[in-house]
Amino acid sequence: MAKSNRKQALGRGLSALLNDSENAIESINDKNADQVVGNMIELDLEKITTNPFQPRTHFNEEALEELSQSVKELGVIQPITVRKKGTQFELIAGERRLRASEMAGLKTIPAFVRLADDQESLEMALVENIQRQDLDPIEIGLSYQRLIDEINLTQDQLSARVGKKRSTITNYMRLLKLDPIIQTGIRDSFISMGHGRALINIDSAEEQIKLYKIIVKKRLSVRETEALVRKSKTPKEHPSKIYQPAYIEQAANDLEALFDTPVSATTNNQGQGQLKISFESQEKLQHILNKIKGEY
């Protein structure tokens, strides 16, 4: 009986801390932080606010319904992650689980409480989402771009943080250069990331959309799309047939990853060739020069 009373007292104590508006827990040094931060708690859904830094912008309703049904039958297996802000808790990661729990009619959800400032919350949300399997390629590219722009990570640091090769990160981010209509096509699964990577090689947005419509209408494979792109470029950019061994294309891809900018390479059958490195600003040019000099 004594043990049961002690459990109830502890429960009431934690409840009081969770509802304490005067002592917001935003630092590990704050009063009672050790009793809240790092704990797994059963949190009222009405106390959770969504994450303003949420990188996911598209939620598949059918998939949410399936997850909601699973939650009804099995409960929430993987806790969401939150941070305490006053009397409320702001979601860091797990919005699909939160939405599915609401759809399932649950009143509470298991949650892991962490300390995080705005920047850390953004980074955790972005990295957590990147590691999931159901983000579309455009959302992944946007997440990588935000980590670079808003967290000020270099591509090397980003590669280490998310456990992906730099070339993989570059491939996703290059998709963001596609016309928005084509990006939407990738998000809605009309075409794949492979189709998008082929279309990036077309400079004109108008030509990109023209080819995109052909791809969708004829349901072309990625290989057929690559052939279509080569055919569309040949009369305009390569009047004469140019010898292009595999190592030239690989070299261009490696340089693209290194400089984070489009690079093209051509050669003749004597092994003589040219490199074309694109840049959109003086800052980008300086970045390329610094890479060549090995300054960072």
Domain enclosing residue 289, as ranges: 240-296
d(CA 25, CA 31): 7
Q: Which residue has the higher pLDDT, 76 or 85?
A: 76
Predicted local distance difference test score (pLDDT) of residue 40:
76
- Nearest 5°: the CA angle 189, 125, 199 is 30
Q: Which of 111, 113, 89, 117 is nearest to 26 (CA)?
A: 117
Predicted local distance difference test score (pLDDT) of residue 192:
94
Predicted local distance difference test score (pLDDT) of residue 35:
44
Predicted local distance difference test score (pLDDT) of residue 281:
79
Is 147 a member of any domain?
Answer: no
Q: Which residue has the higher pLDDT, 88 or 177?
A: 177
pLDDT at 250 over 70: yes
Predicted local distance difference test score (pLDDT) of residue 89:
86
| Whether 73 is catalytic | no
Is 171 a member of any domain?
Answer: no
Confidence class of residue 123 from pLDDT cuts 50, 70 and 90?
confident
Residue pair 205/179 in contact (Cβ under 8 Å)? The answer is: yes
Average the pLDDT over each of 58-62, 78-82, 181-185 and give the range with the smallest value.
58-62
Instruction: Supply the CATH number for residue 81's domain.
Output: 3.90.1530.30
What count of other Cβ atoms lies within 10 Å of the Cβ of residue 71?
21
Q: Which residue has the higher pLDDT, 15 or 178?
A: 178
Predicted local distance difference test score (pLDDT) of residue 8:
37
Token digits of residue 121: 């919350």
Half-sphere exposure of 176 (CA within 13 A, CB side): 14
Q: Which of 184, 198, 200, 203 is nearest to 137 (CA)?
A: 184
Q: Which of 127, 171, 118, 174 is nearest to 146 (CA)?
A: 127
pLDDT digits (tens, 9 = 90+) for 1-57: 444 433 333 333 444 445 554 444 444 444 444 444 556 788 899 989 887 766 566
Confidence class of residue 242 from pLDDT cuts 50, 70 and 90?
low
Of the candidates 116, 131, 163, which is a domain's last residue? 116
Of the candidates 83, 116, 149, which is a domain's last residue? 116
Token digits of residue 64: 């949410």
Predicted local distance difference test score (pLDDT) of residue 295:
60
Is 21 a member of any domain?
Answer: yes
Is 175 a member of any domain?
Answer: no
Of the candidates 71, 98, 116, which is a domain's last residue? 116
Please tell me what DSSP assigns to residue 92.
E
Mean pLDDT rounded to a whole number for the chain = 77
d(CA 249, CA 195): 18
Q: Which of 95, 123, 139, 256 is catalytic?
A: 95
In sequence order, what E strands does the chain have? 40-44, 48-49, 80-85, 88-93, 108-113, 263-267, 273-277
Predicted local distance difference test score (pLDDT) of residue 180:
92
What value does the CA radius of gyration of the chain take, rounded to a whole number of Å? Answer: 25
Structural domain total, the chain: 2
Q: Which residue has the higher pLDDT, 284 or 269?
A: 284
